[in-house]
Amino acid sequence: MRTGQGGLSIGLTLLGLLLVTFLIARVAPIDPVLKVVGDKASKETYEAVRREMGLDQSLPVQFARYLKSVVSGELGTSTSTGQPVMDDLLRYFPATLELSTIAILLGVLLGIPLGIWAACRHNRWQDQLIRAVSLLGYSVPVFWLGLVALLVFYAKLGWVSGPGRLDDVYQYTIESWSHFALIDTLRSGDMSAFGNALSHLVLPASLLAYFSLAYIARMTRAYVLEELSKEYVTLARVKGASEWHILWRHVLPNLRGPLLTVSALSYAVLLEGAVLTESVFSWPGIGLYITNALFSADMSAVLGGTLLIGICFVLLNSLTDTLSRMLDPRTR
Q: Is the pLDDT of residue 90 over 80?
A: yes
Those residues with Cβ within 8 angstroms of residue 59's Cβ, 6 or more apart along the chain or in another chain: 26
User: What pLDDT is recorded for position 35?
Assistant: 67
Once rounded to an integer, what is the mean pLDDT over residues 280-287? 86
Looking at mean pLDDT, say which of 13-27, 194-208, 225-239, 264-278 comes out highest.
194-208
Any idea how long the chain is? Answer: 332
With bands split at pLDDT 50, 70 and 90, how would you rate the model's confidence at 113? very high
Task: Please check whether the domain covering 86-331 is classified as CATH 3.10.100.10.
Answer: no
183/4: higher pLDDT: 183
Q: Is the pLDDT of residue 285 over 60?
A: yes
| Whole-angstrom distance, CA of residue 43 vs CA of residue 53 | 15
- Facing residues of 229 across strands? none
8/283: higher pLDDT: 283
| Whole-angstrom distance, CA of residue 282 vs CA of residue 171 | 14
* Among candidate residues 88, 12, 17, 68, the one with its CA nearest the CA of residue 310: 17
Q: Is the pLDDT of residue 109 over 90?
A: yes
CA 169 to the chain's CA centroid = 29
User: What pLDDT is recorded for position 255?
Assistant: 86
Q: Are 113 and 216 contacting, i.e. CB atoms less than 8 angstroms apart? A: no
- Facing residues of 303 across strands? none
Those residues with Cβ within 8 angstroms of residue 58's Cβ, 6 or more apart along the chain or in another chain: none
Q: Are 255 and 125 contacting, i.e. CB atoms less than 8 angstroms apart? A: no
Instruction: For the chain, give the longest Cα–Cα distance.
Output: 87
Those residues with Cβ within 8 angstroms of residue 222's Cβ, 6 or more apart along the chain or in another chain: none
Domain boundaries, the chain: 11-71, 86-331
Q: Are 100 and 274 contacting, i.e. CB atoms less than 8 angstroms apart? A: yes
User: What pLDDT is recorded for position 313?
Assistant: 82
The model's pTM: 0.82
224/22: higher pLDDT: 224
Once rounded to an integer, what is the mean pLDDT over residues 228-241? 82
Q: pLDDT tens digits for 22-80?
A: 777 677 666 667 766 666 777 777 778 777 777 777 778 878 887 887 878 788 778 77
DSSP assignment letter at 29: S
Q: Is the pLDDT of residue 1 over 50?
A: no
Q: What percent of the chain has pLDDT over 90?
A: 11
**CB-based burial label for 238 (10 Å; 0-12, 13-18, 19+):** exposed
